[in-house]
Copies of this chain bind each other. A is one copy, B any other.
C-alpha cells in the first residue's frame, strides 16, 4: 500500500510539472483512504505558502472540519522544507513518508531536522522511501528550466 500512496503523490507531482511548477506532490491518508491530495501551486497562485504539503493539510482539515490530523499519514514526493515540516507537526500528522531528500532545504534531516528532535515539542516519525521517480521528475524540471 505504501507504494500505491507514494504513486498517488507522484501523480500530483506530474500535474505540477505540466503547470511548470516545481514538481512536488502530496497525499494525506486516513484509515487506508486518500482524504486529500495536492501539488505545488506557488507560481500559479502567487502564494509562497502554496506548497503541496500545506495545500494537502488545509484540504484535509477542511474535509474533517478539524485542525488535528491525528491518525493521518502524509506521503510526499520531496523532503519538506522548514515551513512544511513544522506545519506537518503542528497538524499532528502521525507519520510522514518521503519520496526523496532535498539537500538544499530539507528540514527532516538533510539541512536541519525539525521532526526528529523534541525541541519544538513535537516529533513525527519519518519513513524514507527512496522513490526514484520522485527524484527523476525534479531533475527533469530543472533541466527543462535551464533550456
Contacts and interface: CB of A to CB of B under 8 A. Distances in A.
Given A112-B120, A120-B111, A66 B49 contact: no
A87 B57 contact: no
Interface in A8-64: 42-43, 45-49, 54, 57-58, 61-62, 64
A128 interface: no
The quantity of this chain's copies bound in the complex is 2
A112 B57 CA distance: 24
Interface in A75-99: 81-87, 90-92
A147 interface: no
Given A112-B119, A112-B120, A67 B46 contact: yes
Given A48-B69, A49-B54, 13 more contacts: A46-B61, A46-B64, A47-B58, A47-B61, A47-B67, A48-B90, A49-B49, A82-B120, A83-B83, A83-B87, A105-B120, A111-B119, A112-B119
